[in-house]
Amino acid sequence: MSLLSDLINLNLSDTTEKIIAEYIWIGGSGMDLRSKARTLNGVVNDPHKLPKWNYDGSSTGQAPGEDSEVILYPQAIFKDPFRRGNNILVMCDAYTPAGEPIPTNKRYNAAKIFSHPDVVAEEPWYGIEQEYTLLQKDLKWPIGWPVGGYPGPQGPYYCGAGADKAFGRDVVDSHYKACLYAGINISGINGEVMPGQWEFQVGPSVGISAGDELWVARYILERITEIAGVVVSFDPKPIEGDWNGAGAHTNYSTKSMRNDGGFEVIKKAIGNLKLKHKEHIAAYGEGNERRLTGRHETADINTFSWGVANRGASVRVGRDTEKAGKGYFEDRRPASNMDPYVVTSMIADTTILWKP
C-alpha cells in the first residue's frame, strides 16, 4: 500500500511540465457530479484558454444514444487538492455540438442574469450554508447511529464535541482544508442539529462564482467521502420524524443594501420575494415539502414570512442588520439539494431586475 500511496503522491513537476486537469460537470439528475481527467502541456490559468472537451451524454441521461456527444465548456479553475502540484479542477457547463446549452445546463441562464448591467452594478454577494448528512455506505443510515435504531434526541449534537456527539469530523475537516487549498472561499464549518449532519459555508462570493464554488465544494466532498467509505446525502429530509432536515440557507446582499439606508432596500427586496414565493419554492430543491413544515426551524412551504432573528421565517434579517440600518438577509427556503446557479440568479433577478 505504501508504494501505491507513493505513486498517487508523485510530484509531476520534478520530471515534466505537463499537468492533469480534472473536468467536472453536472449530470442528468441535476445533482450527480461527473468528472474525467486529461493531460495538458503546461499550466493554464484562464478557463477560456482550456480546450473544450466532450462526453457521452447518453450515459449521463443528457443525450440520446444515436446523438450522444455533449460538449464541455471550461468555466472556472481551482487547484486540485487530491493531485496537488500544478494540477487543476475545472468546473464546466454543457452544450450541444451546435453550441446550445443542454436543458440541465443551469449555469448558462444564471450567467446571463449576472452579466446584466443592473446586476453587475449592484455586486450581489452570496454566502451559502450547505447542510449535508453522512451515511453508512451499505446501510444508507446516518453514521454514528445504531444499526436499525436511533440515537438520543436532538440537543447535544449541534456544534458538539465528543465521540458520542460528533460523527465524521475527520471527513469534515479534510473537506474544509481541501476547499481552502483549492481556492474556494469556504468560510466555516459546524456540526448540525441532527447527529451525522454537518454544514459548510461558502462565501461571500460575487455573482456566478457562488455557484461555481459551491458545486466544486460539493465535488470535493463527494471525492473525500469516496476515500473515507461513507456516503454524502443532500436529501432535504433524510430521516423522517422529529429530526431536523437539511437546507442551503442563502445569505444575500447588494451594494445598495450594504450602503446607508440599505434596510429599506432589503425590505423592498423581501416584498418582491413574497410576491414570487411560489416560483421560488418550485425552484428551490426537490423534496423540500418534506422539510418546510413549519417545524424544526423552518417556515411552512405555503406561507411566506420574514422577521428579525426569526429562524422559523422564510426570510431572516439579522439583529446586526436591523441595528446598523444596512447589511444582508438570509433566504432560509432553499433545500440542501438546490442548484446554486438557479437559486442565486433567481434571487438577483427577483430583487434587482423584476419590477412588480
CATH code (residue 202): 3.30.590.10
Question: Does residue 109 lie within any of the structural domains?
Answer: no
pLDDT > 80? residue 70: yes
Residue 22 one-letter amino acid: E
Average pLDDT over residues 190-201: 97
Question: Does residue 76 lie within any of the structural domains?
Answer: yes
More confident residue, 324 or 14: 324
Last residue of a domain, one of 46, 76, 104: 104
pLDDT > 70? residue 315: yes
Residue 218 one-letter amino acid: R
pLDDT at position 2 is 74
* Residues 86 and 140 both lie in one domain: no
| Position 294 confidence tier, pLDDT thresholds 50, 70, 90 | confident
Average pLDDT over residues 20-36: 97
Question: Does residue 341 lie within any of the structural domains?
Answer: yes
Question: Does residue 111 lie within any of the structural domains?
Answer: no
* Residues 285 and 254 both lie in one domain: yes
Last residue of a domain, one of 104, 129, 150: 104
Q: What is the mean pLDDT of the chain?
A: 96
* Residues 278 and 307 both lie in one domain: yes
| Position 355 confidence tier, pLDDT thresholds 50, 70, 90 | confident
Could you tell me whether strands 88-95 and 230-233 are parallel, antiparallel, or unpaired per DSSP bridges? unpaired
* Residues 246 and 286 both lie in one domain: yes
Question: Does residue 110 lie within any of the structural domains?
Answer: no
Q: What is the dihedral of CA 219, 221, 223, 227, to 10 degrees?
A: 180
In angstroms, the CA 59 to CA 73 distance is: 19
* Residues 87 and 155 both lie in one domain: no
| Position 257 confidence tier, pLDDT thresholds 50, 70, 90 | very high
In angstroms, the CA 67 to CA 251 distance is: 41
* Residues 54 and 126 both lie in one domain: no
* Residues 175 and 307 both lie in one domain: yes
Average pLDDT over residues 232-249: 96
State how many domains the chain has.
Answer: 2
Cell of 226: 469516496
CATH of the domain at 92: 3.10.20.70
How do residues 204-231 score in pLDDT, each as one tens digit? 999 999 999 999 999 999 999 999 999 9
Last residue of a domain, one of 104, 128, 145: 104
Residue 297: count other Cβ atoms within 10 Å of its Cβ. 15
* Residues 165 and 313 both lie in one domain: yes
Using alpha carbons, select from 280, 347, 339, 354 the residue that is nearest to residue 29.
Answer: 339
* Residues 199 and 261 both lie in one domain: yes
pLDDT at position 1 is 53
pLDDT > 60? residue 176: yes
pLDDT > 90? residue 171: yes
* Residues 99 and 122 both lie in one domain: no
* Residues 72 and 125 both lie in one domain: no
Question: Does residue 128 lie within any of the structural domains?
Answer: yes
Q: Are 82 and 175 in contact (CB under 8 A)?
A: no
Q: Are 94 and 104 in contact (CB under 8 A)?
A: yes
Range of the domain at 61: 4-104
Question: Does residue 112 lie within any of the structural domains?
Answer: no
| pTM score of the predicted model | 0.97
* Residues 36 and 91 both lie in one domain: yes
pLDDT at position 9 is 87
